Amino acid sequence: ASPSSIASAAGCAISPRRRGIPARHAPPWQKMFIQGLLTAALALSVSHPAASRASASRKASLIGSATMAANDSAFSSLDEYLGHLASEAALPEGFRIGNCGFEFEPSEAATGTRVKMRLTLIVADKPSSSFAAVFTKNAFCGSPVTVGKRRMRESPTLQALLVNNKVSNVCAAGDGVADSEALCEALATALELPDGAASVLPSSTGVIGWKLPVPEMRAAMPEAVASLQAGSALPAAQGIMTTDRYPKLRAASVCGGRIVGIAKGAGMIEPNMATMLSFLLTDVAVPRAQLQAMLSRAVDVSFNCMSVDADQSTSDTLVCLSSEAKLLCPEGASDEEQV
């Protein structure tokens, strides 16, 4: 279950410039956590019901407790695939997921046109200083990406992710950044987040050129908040879909904790960016700078190796957020202490 073998099975090649993860001199816990991130990222990047399914008898160990399932048989139906996702969708400790759907009338569409949007919330129980992200390298990035980059530069903590489908908030009328910030403020108020809107990172995906329906999204927010639950990440994987035929969700156990990843994307996927929208959640506390380095390494040999349509998206975002519910051993600890 090496990166190259998984990528080859998906029909994508790993560039010679991106061979492996340069973590040779990292302490054991870092190597283990990087492999956990890589497990989730690789599995998400090739996720499809016809891809390898889980089998207890065929699990291959990557490093320590980070494992990845492998099997030659495909899922026979969508229900079987969804059942498998549900079986591994348990959220890491310290997270809640909520979403809701509503209709709105885009001002850019013909009068009377009603379309559906889903609002998805990913919320940590407390502000976290352990988070990392990578974004599209498209020069014409969407307003949510602009706000997300601002969060990475200026925010000491992150506690919530606000994701909508249907409208990408790219090249739209008005001030898209202000719209994203207004929604972050609304969510921070609804959740009574101690660090306010600065601890909310937005992501949007969908039609380019449409303006976010801010009033309708605000009105729907209480329903999404009321739906928050700490059980399964599957509703979030389904809620962020656009043209995807199937939800994408994978998990790995590592360092005594858990990593769960979800992703959406079916087109406009090109190397050297985050690729699609993807969110990795973990309860393992990792110092922010180290988490960013680990995420970048994992992305470089997974998402950044893929190309679909050869178009760079304007909205691609990959966020890794820790609830910090479980502590890692300090870097100076002995191997015995880390085990």
The residue assigned the tokens 């065929």 is: 58
Per residue in 170-197, pLDDT (tens digit) is: 777 778 899 999 999 999 999 999 999 9
pLDDT tens column, 234-253: 999 998 887 778 898 999 88
275 is catalytic: yes
Q: Is the pLDDT of residue 54 over 80?
A: no
- Please compute the mean of the pLDDT values over residues 76-99 and round it to a whole number: 94
The catalytic residue among 67, 120, 205, 275 is: 275
Domain range list for the chain: 28-338
Instruction: Compute the residue count for the chain.
Output: 339
Q: Which residue has the higher pLDDT, 212 or 329?
A: 212
Adjacency order of strands within the sheet including 200-204: 95-104, 115-128, 158-164, 200-204
Q: What is the pLDDT of residue 331?
A: 55
* Whole-number pLDDT of residue 320: 95
Residue 74 has a pLDDT of 77
Percent of the chain with pLDDT over 70: 68
Checking if the pLDDT of 135 tops 70, the result is: yes
The residue-averaged pLDDT of 23-28 equals: 51
Segment 152-175 shows an average pLDDT of 90
Q: Does the structure show a pLDDT above 80 at 307?
A: no
Per-residue pLDDT, averaged over 292-302, amounts to 85
% residues pLDDT > 90 (the chain): 42
What pLDDT shows up at residue 26?
54
Output b/e per residue, 206-216; b: 16+ Cβ within 10 A: bbbebbbbbee
172 vs 51, more confident: 172
Res. 143 pLDDT band, cuts 50 70 90: confident
Answer yes or no: is pLDDT of 151 > 70.
yes
Give CA–CA dist 223/312, Å, rounded: 34
- pLDDT of residue 2 exceeding 60, the answer is no
User: Is the predicted pLDDT of residue 153 greater than 90, yes or no?
Assistant: yes
Q: Which of the pair, 116 or 1, is modelled with greater confidence? A: 116
Looking at per-residue confidence, does 205 or 280 come out higher?
280
- The pLDDT assigned to 233 comes to 96
**Mean pLDDT (whole number) for 310-316:** 60
- Mean pLDDT, range 81-85, rounded to an integer: 92
CATH homologous superfamily for the domain 28-338: L-amino peptidase D-ALA esterase/amidase (3.60.70.12)
More confidently predicted of 106 and 130: 130
Residue 219 has pLDDT above 70, yes or no: yes
Span 248-285, pLDDT tens digits: 899 988 878 899 999 877 655 554 544 468 899 999 99
pLDDT at 65: 35
